[in-house]
Structure 1
Amino acid sequence: MVRQEVEQEKTRIVMIDSIYGYQISMRGQDLVNNLHALCKYLKNMGVTVILINDVLLLGRAESGKMALCLLPLELAKFCKELVSEFQNSLKLKPQNDPVTLIFVNQCQSAIACLEASLLRRILSNLLSNAIKYSPPNTEVVFELKLTETEAVFSVQDAGIGIPLADQERLFDSFFRAKNVGIIPGIGLGLSIVKKCVDLHGGEIALSSEEDVGSKFTVTLPLAKLEEEQLSPATP
């Protein structure tokens, strides 16, 4: 059964990789005309809507067709709501010793100009990975800091860690570390994170040790708030 599932996962990876390359080669109306058929085909192959969106986002980013929509955002509130979603999801999982998600807020009601949808992708992917690769009865710590010029987000786990030899390629599309075993995934999450961080002109740093855990730190520059922008956007 495990072998069959692995083979199915490999088939999906090859299929998605091929369609991803085809999708970013399309331009203008060709892309619009084929988008619906592409999504329908992926769904029929058992690929989730989230994964479809990830593939399309990568394609738009690679083709230079993605523009930022920077709007005021209450960072603390945004992060708390996201953490609450993950905590509720963890409660629904049938585990005796589930992973505990902890949010450490080092800023209060600060408003920052960022792209809410891309920030959600960044943080959701990092939190999801941290939880997925952590053993039961461990903690994932999500921390938010703010300076005058930057927003700093960090996600730290006590999971399987990332082998040093794999860290250089970790943000490549469809790459997975050699120690993931049978943990499901196709290697798109961190490449999505990197693209979203790059679009913000930010940086992402990794500190990891195999069998000890990993810490990802994302630093995003804050756009200057104008007087008419002081009302925060809804995430």
Structure 2
Amino acid sequence: MGEAAGKARVTDGPAVAAGAAGGEVCDAERAAHARGEDRRPADGGARMIVGGPRGVRMVAVRDEWPDDPGAHPKVLVEQACRVYGEARVAAWCADLLVRAVAYDDPDEPPLVWVGGSPAAHGLGEGWKDHWPRVWGARGLLYAWDPAAAAAVVRGLEDPSWRVREMCAKVARARELGEAADVLAGLVGDEVPRVRAAALRALGVTGEGEHAPVVRGALDDQESAVRQAADKALEQLRGRLDRDV
């Protein structure tokens, strides 16, 4: 674990200290646990107390592992939330999305929590480097904190179309009104799947000023995009309670 003297699995007890600087803190944790006090972080996440050059701090416990790495992403992320806490998982997913942390950062949860079996041993051979960003964005469909919204909006302009598409899905699921202007720009994206995802998101995030862009997509050469535009206009009319 880098600064840690080893690894420790923590699921339902006091935090475990690693390194010489952690001993005193660990003693306090054990004493509190003996008194029946819960000294874990407010989000309930598993942590390790690490002493090192940067002082005593709390980091994620790397030994935590999904019950079934091949499970559906929703199952994996929900289990991760039980282990680390939803706010912690959402923050990590947002950081992965905007490359604020490396996917193999030893102070973060293992990538398998959002990538599933393909990420069981890191980013496997043949998987391009945009996949951790896709998985981070996808994780925000199942773990959320409002602070992650800015990362989603930023991800809508990612160089990878897969990241843009997934961020549009998250913007729709989380009804991010602040994403509407960027989504309107994606209606002209070169990838049909991105255009369709952006239109679906505009149906729940857009305002009247976005209607002309949506109407313009009714003539798109791809049927899936035309259908998404038609549905988005219907949703805008219903939400805004007027014709658009």
- Identify the TM-score tier after normalising by the shorter chain: under 0.3
The structure with more helix, counted as a fraction of residues: 2
Higher relative contact order (CA 8 A, sep 6+): 1
Structure with higher Rg: it is 2
The structure with more strand, counted as a fraction of residues: 1
* TM-score (ref. length: structure 1): 0.25
* TM-score (ref. length: structure 2): 0.24
